[in-house]
Amino acid sequence: MRDALTGLGVSPGRTAGPAFRMAAPPTLPDTVPAVADVEAEKTLATKALTQVSSVLEELAARVDGEAAEVLATEAMMAADKTLADAVAAAVAGGRPAPWAIADAIGAQQETFTQLGGYFAERAADLADIRDRAVAHLLDEPMPGLPVPGRPYVLTADDLSPADTALLDPNSVLAIVTRRGGPTSHTAILARARGLPAVVGCAGILDVEDGAAVSVDGTTGEVTEIDESEVDGVREAAARERERLAALTGPGRTADGHAVPLVLNVGGVADVVADAEGVGLFRTEFLFLGRTSAPSVAEQERAYAELFGALGGRKVVVRTLDAGADKPLPFLGLAAEENPALGVRGLRVARAHPEVLAEQLEAIARAANATAADVWVMAPMVATTAEAEEFAAAVRTAGLPVAGAMIEVPAAALRANKLLEVVDFVSIGTNDLSQYTLAADRMNGDLADLLDPWQPAVLELVASCADAGRSTHKPVGVCGEAAGDPLLALVLVGMGVTSLSMSAPSVPAVRAMLAAHTLAECEHLARLALDAPDAVAARQAVAAATNG
């Protein structure tokens, strides 16, 4: 075995196979050749665009739903008359076909970017058309997913939404990217599809195409191995999956201390049959892409659909988590210099109290119509006063259980006071890491700082858990940290009372908990808290659990 390339494990599971890189977009040569025959050059350019359009149409035919829609629209753009006219004009002005296409697309991108919002997002589709057309004309490899003809580990700088839409889970074994953090598009997609994934893996693009690698999406370890070792790793991983799948039932430690393992969901499709409940129901899906708020009746229907699927189980609903970083047109929020520090989460209710009031009314109606045990919590609470005001609004709506998310260090430091005014807290480790380490969640270069094993973050979690113990109120964790089996032990050892994660993470966490007593978890929590840094904390806990 050669050196391990370490990144951040963002989707659990272990596998091995040949690595193949996402082809990089082609670059135009520095010297621009002269155009000898303008008409012939125009034909070349038109043919390239037509070719791109038909390839995109074929790709669209291979997928369904939203992805098909996106690709069909992109195919339409590639074959567009307006674009063809602009390209022809550029050729007539002396630009060779590849340059003419790049110029025309650049101008169109600028128009879209100026329109902003959803229109600006189409600039990325245009870039894809340009890259494909230029690659075709320069006879360079087509950018996009590799097609090695056998299952492979996909490596890339980062993945675009179009790439992820086309990704075939039958041929991709795992994903490793150089950039990206725990909440990147890659991470979210990989978890949803149950593919092991590592992001922020600095050396991954130095691995030769076809070289065998093993990938551990739990520890973040990526290792170049000998081809003869591949089958062994996969077989061991398959046995491990079988062992995990054989374990069922509620989450509990080896000595029977119950720790409900609940799900992070965006809708009823994410609920699995044997789930103990839902620890984080994200309600944004109802509001995205809307120019007016969804009506109370529409919201009630959507909430009741999820609640109904849960029977009498618990569901924690997070009220709308929008802001300048996740803009919603109907809120009319101004663009901000620092959206992460701006009007987001519960703060939106300062300007739009009616949106929160209507949402709570819809949740209350859906709760009354179903048997689910409905709890409600607010995102981005910073002060006790905010938590108190929110809890009052929840109770006014007729809902019995109100909580606050702990994502802001100010709230974590005052968890004991918060728990005097709310019934529970739930710690969102992704945002808590971002705000504690002052590191942008979207910045892949800072992935090490966003590691939930950072002792400063763990210390805040521990103090929240202490506050829960002294007030006898639940303290859950609903960030992706809860889905890391080793970290789950640490959280339970600190006194966290429930862990909420995406469904594919549950079996490994359940098995890990079942193999350790509460006293062992408490010991591991002390090891993690005493470690000098995130890497050492993980190593110390890993070493102690293997021993």
Partner 1 sequence: MPSRDVVVGSRVGLHGRPAKTVVGVAAAQPVAVRISTAGKPAVDASSILAVLSLGAKGGDTVTVEADGDGAEAALGAMVEILAQDLDAEPADA
What are the catalytic residues?
Answer: 185, 478
Stretch that binds partner 1, among 71-79, 338-346, 388-396, 442-450 (CB under 8 A): 71-79
The nearer residue to partner 1, 70 or 486, going by C-beta atoms, is 70
- Assess 133 for contact with partner 1 (CB under 8 A): no
The nearer residue to partner 1, 290 or 350, going by C-beta atoms, is 290
Give the position of tokens 């991954």.
204
Please report how close the Cβ of residue 60 comes to partner 1 at its closest, in angstroms: 11
> How far is the C-alpha of 444 from the C-alpha of 201, rounded, in Å?
10
Please report how close the Cβ of residue 427 comes to partner 1 at its closest, in angstroms: 22
DSSP 8-state secondary structure symbol assigned to residue 326: B
> How far is the C-alpha of 315 from the C-alpha of 222, rounded, in Å?
36
Sort 147 into a burial class: Cβ within 10 Å, 0-12 / 13-18 / 19+.
Answer: exposed
- Assess 122 for contact with partner 1 (CB under 8 A): yes
- Assess 290 for contact with partner 1 (CB under 8 A): yes
Task: Give 514's contacts (C-beta < 8 A, 6+ positions apart).
Answer: 247, 252, 253, 254
The nearer residue to partner 1, 29 or 117, going by C-beta atoms, is 117
Q: Characterize the bridge pairing of strands 197-199 and 152-156.
A: unpaired
Closest CA to 102 of 111, 91, 92: 91
- Assess 355 for contact with partner 1 (CB under 8 A): no
**According to CB under 8 A, which one of 24, 62, 113, 118 is a site residue for partner 1?**
118
> How far is the C-alpha of 174 from the C-alpha of 76, rounded, in Å?
32
- Assess 130 for contact with partner 1 (CB under 8 A): no
Stretch that binds partner 1, among 65-73, 367-375, 459-467, 483-491 (CB under 8 A): 65-73
| C-beta separation of 241 from 233 below 8 A | no
Please report how close the Cβ of residue 334 comes to partner 1 at its closest, in angstroms: 17
Give CA angle at 485 (482, 486), nearest 5°: 105
**According to CB under 8 A, which one of 31, 292, 338, 546 is a site residue for partner 1?**
292
- Assess 390 for contact with partner 1 (CB under 8 A): no
- Assess 72 for contact with partner 1 (CB under 8 A): yes
**According to CB under 8 A, which one of 27, 38, 61, 66 is a site residue for partner 1?**
66
Alpha helices in 348-454 (DSSP H): 348-351, 353-369, 384-396, 409-413, 415-421, 429-436
Instruction: Tell me the torsion sign for CA atoms 56, 61, 64, 66.
Output: positive
> How far is the C-alpha of 394 from the C-alpha of 376, rounded, in Å?
7
- Assess 305 for contact with partner 1 (CB under 8 A): no
Beta bridge partners of 373: 314
**According to CB under 8 A, which one of 286, 464, 477, 491 is a site residue for partner 1?**
286
Count CB-CB contacts under 10 A for residue 288. Answer: 11
| C-beta separation of 488 from 513 below 8 A | yes
- Assess 112 for contact with partner 1 (CB under 8 A): yes
Please report how close the Cβ of residue 271 comes to partner 1 at its closest, in angstroms: 13
The nearer residue to partner 1, 65 or 256, going by C-beta atoms, is 65
Sort 461 into a burial class: Cβ within 10 Å, 0-12 / 13-18 / 19+.
Answer: buried
Stretch that binds partner 1, among 284-292, 335-343, 386-394, 513-521 (CB under 8 A): 284-292
Please report how close the Cβ of residue 108 comes to partner 1 at its closest, in angstroms: 6
Residues binding partner 1 (CB under 8 A): 65-66, 69, 72-73, 76-77, 80-83, 108, 111-112, 115, 118-119, 122, 266-267, 282, 284-286, 288-292, 302, 329
